[in-house]
Amino acid sequence: MRVRAYKLIVWVLVLLVAPCAAQGRDESAAQREYQIKAAFLYNFIKFVDWPKEKVAESNEPVVLGIVGKDPFGNAFAPVKDKQDKGRKVLIKRFKPIEELKKSGEKDKSLLEREIDSLRKCHLLFICSSEEKSINEIINLVKGHSVLTIGDMQGFLESGGIINFIMEEKKVRFEINMTAAKHAKLQIRSQLLRLAKRVIKEEASQQAKD
């Protein structure tokens, strides 16, 4: 990961020297941010225990759903390379929920199928494009042990479990333990220790670290 990042920095420096690099730099910074987030998503799998009925069989992949306008681009490519050893991760992209609902008006069964597969996800990344429909999505997957991950302010308060935040240009995250408990997900203490903020069961907003 670090090697990749380093290479990217070099690449960025090269672009700096090149003319009309300003836009390129912004794009690459965003790209790098999402690469790190993609890597974090993969790492979360290793520090979260799903309940028995949800645990994927050894030959089945862990399903990572992405709802809304996908900001990752090809950011998963580097992490995908490493998958040969570990468990397979299947990335499933869903249309924004509004669009789904629209298509559901025409074909009800299609909507049901989409919702069903949404619930089957182990991880669900809700893109910032879905900010307005957060509650709706979280309600859809409630009780199906889906680790919801967001990328926006107030995600935890809306019932999301993990939310990415940026701190001094570094990618950090915060955890809602209450939501995790409700989803019957066990989050390892090592991960908790690293979280910028953890919302405990008492609902008192207490930041760790």
Partner 1 sequence: MPILHNMTIKHKLISIIMTTCIVALLLAGIVLILWEWSTLRHTMARNLSTQAEMIADNCKAAVAFKDAADAQGTLGALKAEPPIVFGGIYGNDGKLFAGYYRSDADRAIQPSRLQKSGYTFGDGFLTVFKTIILDDEIIGTVCVRSDLRPMYGMLIRNAEIVTAVLLLASMVAYFVSSRLQKIISTPILSLAESARRIGKGHFDHKVEVHSKDELGYLAQSFNNMAEDLQTTTTSIDNLNREISERKQAEQALQASDRKYRTLLENLPQKIFLKDRNSVYLSCNQNYATDLTIKPEEIVGTTDYEFYPKEFAEKYRADDQRIMQSGQVETIEEKYLLHGQQVSVQTVKTPVKDDHGNVTGVLGIFWDVTERKKAEEERQQSHDTQAVIDKLLSLSLENISLDDMLERAIDHITSIPWLALESKGAIFLVEDEPGVLVMKAQRGLATPLQTTCARVPFGRCICGRAALSGDVAFKDCVDEDHENSYGGIVQHGHYCVPIISAGRVLGVINMYVKQGHRRNEKEEDFLRAVAAVLAGIIERKQGEQKQAELLNKVESANKELTDFAYVVSHDLKAPLRGIKTLASWISTDYTDKLDQNGKEQMNLLSSRVERMHNLIDGILQYSRIGRVEEKKVVVNLNELVAEVIDMVAPPQNIAITVENELPIIEFERTRITQVFQNLLSNAVKYMDKPEGQVRIGCAEEDGFWKFTVADNGPGIEEKYFEKIFQMFQTLAPRDEVESTGIGLTVAKKIVELYGGKIWVESKVGEGSTFLFTLPKDKVRVENAELQAGIIS
DSSP string over 46-111: HHEE--GGGPPPTTSPEEEEEESS---TTTTHHHHHGGGTS--EEEEEE--HHHHHHHHHH-HHHH
Binders of partner 1 among residues 21 to 50 (CB under 8 A) are 40, 43, 46-47
Instruction: Find the binder of partner 1 among 30, 188, 201, 207 (CB under 8 A).
Output: 188
Residue 7 binding partner 1, by CB under 8 A: no
Q: How many CB atoms lie within 10 A of CB 77?
A: 12
Pick the piece of the chain touching partner 1 (CB under 8 A) from 19-27, 53-61, 133-141, 183-191.
Answer: 183-191
List, in order, residues 6 or more apart from 7 with CB less than 8 Å away: none
Tell me the per-residue interface mask from 189 to 208 with partner 1, x by CB under 8 A, - otherwise.
-xx-xx--------------
The tokens describing 58, both together, are 């050894």
Residue 106 binding partner 1, by CB under 8 A: no
Complex with partner 1: residue 1 or 22, whichever CB lies closer: 1
Helix locations, 152-205, DSSP H: 177-182, 189-194
The residues that touch partner 1, with contacts defined as CB under 8 A, are 1-3, 6, 40, 43, 46-47, 82, 85-87, 188, 190-191, 193-194
